[in-house]
Amino acid sequence: EIVLTQSPGTLSLSPGEGATLSCRASQSVSSNSLAWYQQKPGQAPRLLIYGASSRATGIPDRFSGSGSGTDFTLTISRLEPEDFAVYSCHQYGSSPLWTFGQGTKVEIK
């Protein structure tokens, strides 16, 4: 099983600032099959990024994903008020057993 470790656990930032979230895998993620999700309290997760760097339909271009192998990054260029949420990475390369990271909370400073 691939273990995903996200850092930091919590990121305290102000609107307008940039955010960099990390997701590190215990072994290489096949075919860069890594996704990022956003989740707000009481809501289901929302797909932001798939294939490590492709934005899902309707996702603003301030969200970008990068990385390969074992190190992946989600970058939010300028935080909008609606971006304060929990972000989780997910690997789906080691079929059929998939895993999630523990999440990074982006909170208002």
Partner 1 sequence: EVQLVESGGGLVQPGGSLRLSCVASGFTVSDIYINWVRQAPGKGLEWVSVIHGGGDAYYADSVQGRFILSRDNSKNTVYLQMNSLRGEDTAVYYCARSSNFYDYAMDVWGLGTTVTVSS
> Which positions touch partner 1 (CB under 8 A)?
1, 33, 35, 37, 39, 44-47, 50-51, 54, 56, 88, 90, 92, 96-103
Q: Which residue's CB is nearer to partner 1, number 42 or number 81?
A: 42
Least CB distance from residue 16 to partner 1, whole Å? 27
Burial (Cβ within 10 Å: 0-12, 13-18, ≥19) of residue 25:
buried
* Shortest distance in whole angstroms from residue 74 CB to partner 1: 13
Strands 4-7 and 19-25: antiparallel
Residue among 9 and 16 whose Cβ is closer to partner 1 = 9
Shortest distance, CB of residue 3 to partner 1, whole angstroms?
12
Extract the tokens encoding 108: 């208002």
> Two tokens at 21?
């979230």
CB atoms near residue 97 (< 10 Å): 9
Residue 81 CA from chain centroid, whole number: 18
Tell me whether residue 54 or residue 77 sits nearer to partner 1 (CB atom).
Answer: 54
